[in-house]
Amino acid sequence: MEHMSSLERVVTLEEAKAALDKFWRPKPNNVFVSASQAVGWVSAVEVKSKIDVPPFDRATYDGFAVRAADTFGAAENSPVELKLVGRILAGTWPKMHLRSGSSVEITTGAPLPPGADAVVMSEYAVADGESVKIYRAVSPGENITKKGSDIKKGQTVIGRLKQLNYLDVAVLAAVGVNKIMVRNRPKVAIISTGSELMEPGTKLRPGKIYDVNTTSLSEAVKTCGAEPVVLGIISDRFSAIRAAVNRGVKVADVVLISGGSSVGVGDITPRAIGSLGRPGVVVHGIAMKPGKPTFIAVVKNKPIFGLPGYPVSALMVFDQLVADYLHELSGVPRGRKSVVQAKLATKVLSARGRRELIPVKLVGRDGQKFAEPILKGSGAITSLSTADGYIEVPLEREIVDEGETVEVKLFWGSEFV
């Protein structure tokens, strides 16, 4: 009965987060990763270039390095003849100093010799062994890529807390960086509880269903920039749950445990966690549907979130309660396209005094976006096959009218944009 009374201390989502705050705050960690594998990771520090790019004045095209002044007046029918004093290949360093009246053959990307200030493209020159005829004048700087013109030494190439995309890692390569300090991906242990659960790929026995939450929560965790650690299906026994959670707080930064948190005959998860140490369960029951039996515990300085067993419910509660902490740890921002506006297709009713989360399907009609509530609700095992996301009816609302504009929080990977 003590247990029941703790359940009756239902709190709002904000109060639940404040209660956790007293015992645990997300502390990001950093790690070095190979720059070529860094796409998707978040920079922990600003990166400045230690070199100029290009590191020297270089020929933009194949041709002849010259002093531009020497070519003035050159034209198709009045070439200028210059002495040919050598050849510079890309990847080599010029040994000569170019004097007036001279030219050096040069390949694309090769460093300009000192003294030269322009390149005449091959098309406008004809060389023999001793000299070269120039058929077009060039101005100083022409067909040259100046040292540092692309990236200057000391220039910031990657800002701090930037999720790296493929251009970023290419820029890191250009400035010679092969490893970068990034926010480490938090590890999230995932436990599914329920004697009715079986692993996909096995033969379903009577009364059993396949475990979905291990898969769906693993993927949800990845979208927050975190790394799932699958601990598998655990039966509803006290000792099994206790052992699994104990392992979770050892191997991971955060533990998710779904199912088994309602006040049914099998409600032993919070008790099993409570037995692992202080403070144990700090919140049991949030004024939210689904998710009322949701709990939050802290054991060995690691947070443990108890989520509903129904997959869509688990995903919605994960999004409301857990996702922000993982984003904070990983540095990965919530996608800008994680929320879309739509018109509500049919009126929904909600109980005052609790936040209600309703899965919706997005449909386009008459050039407008509509959110159709999936009223199978938590009674359906998945609803996954149809839901694009969910809407939130706040505590103080009892009704949201048909046609009202709502914010749909998209499940990652939704086809609808």
Binding residues among 199-238 for a copy of itself as defined by CB under 8 A: 199-202, 204, 206-212, 214-216, 218-220, 222-223, 236
Shortest spacing between CB 260 and a copy of itself, in angstroms: 9
Q: Which residues pair with 244 in a beta bridge?
A: none
Quickly count: other Cβ atoms within 10 Å of residue 88's Cβ.
22
Contact 321, 305 (CB under 8 A): yes
Residue placing its CB nearer to a copy of itself in the complex, 129 or 379: 379
Candidate residues 137, 197, 256, 322; the one interacting with a copy of itself per rule CB under 8 A: 197
Handedness of CA 36, 37, 40, 42 (dihedral sign): negative
Please tell me whether residue 43 binds a copy of itself under the rule CB under 8 A: no
Candidate residues 195, 246, 275, 338; the one interacting with a copy of itself per rule CB under 8 A: 195
Candidate residues 161, 181, 240, 384; the one interacting with a copy of itself per rule CB under 8 A: 384
CA 234 vs. chain centroid, Å, equals 30
Integer Cα distance of 409 and 339 in angstroms: 5
Q: Which stretch binds a copy of itself (CB under 8 A): 1-9, 339-347, 361-369, 408-416?
A: 408-416
Please tell me whether residue 378 binds a copy of itself under the rule CB under 8 A: yes
> Could you give the dihedral angle defined by the CA atoms of residues 241, 243, 247 and 250, in that order, rounded to the nearest 10 degrees?
110
Please tell me whether residue 379 binds a copy of itself under the rule CB under 8 A: yes
Footprint of a copy of itself on 131-170 (CB under 8 A): 143-145, 149-151, 157, 165-170
Please tell me whether residue 264 binds a copy of itself under the rule CB under 8 A: yes
Please tell me whether residue 1 binds a copy of itself under the rule CB under 8 A: no
Integer Cα distance of 293 and 204 in angstroms: 28
CA 44 vs. chain centroid, Å, equals 14
Shortest spacing between CB 413 and a copy of itself, in angstroms: 3
Q: Which residues pair with 188 in a beta bridge?
A: 228, 254
Residue placing its CB nearer to a copy of itself in the complex, 59 or 298: 59
Residue placing its CB nearer to a copy of itself in the complex, 215 or 275: 215
Integer Cα distance of 184 and 330 in angstroms: 6
Contact 116, 141 (CB under 8 A): no
Residue placing its CB nearer to a copy of itself in the complex, 17 or 208: 208
Shortest spacing between CB 299 and a copy of itself, in angstroms: 25
Integer Cα distance of 1 and 57 in angstroms: 81
Candidate residues 14, 30, 31, 36; the one interacting with a copy of itself per rule CB under 8 A: 36
Shortest spacing between CB 24 and a copy of itself, in angstroms: 27
Cα–Cα distances in Å, from 334 out to 309, 392, 410, 411?
Answer: 25, 17, 11, 12
Indicate the helix (H) or strand (E) that contains 191.
strand 187-193
Give the residue ranges of DSSP H helices in 9-113: 13-21, 68-71
Residue 152's Cβ-count burial label (10 Å; 0-12, 13-18, 19+) is middle
Q: Which stretch binds a copy of itself (CB under 8 A): 68-76, 131-139, 177-185, 348-356?
A: 177-185
State the number of binding residues for a copy of itself (CB under 8 A).
97
Please tell me whether residue 240 binds a copy of itself under the rule CB under 8 A: no
Shortest spacing between CB 174 and a copy of itself, in angstroms: 5
Footprint of a copy of itself on 11-30 (CB under 8 A): none
HSE-up (13 A, CA, CB side) for residue 333: 10
Residue placing its CB nearer to a copy of itself in the complex, 87 or 133: 87
CA 262 vs. chain centroid, Å, equals 33
Footprint of a copy of itself on 60-119 (CB under 8 A): 60, 62, 87, 89-94, 105, 107-111
Footprint of a copy of itself on 274-333 (CB under 8 A): 309, 311
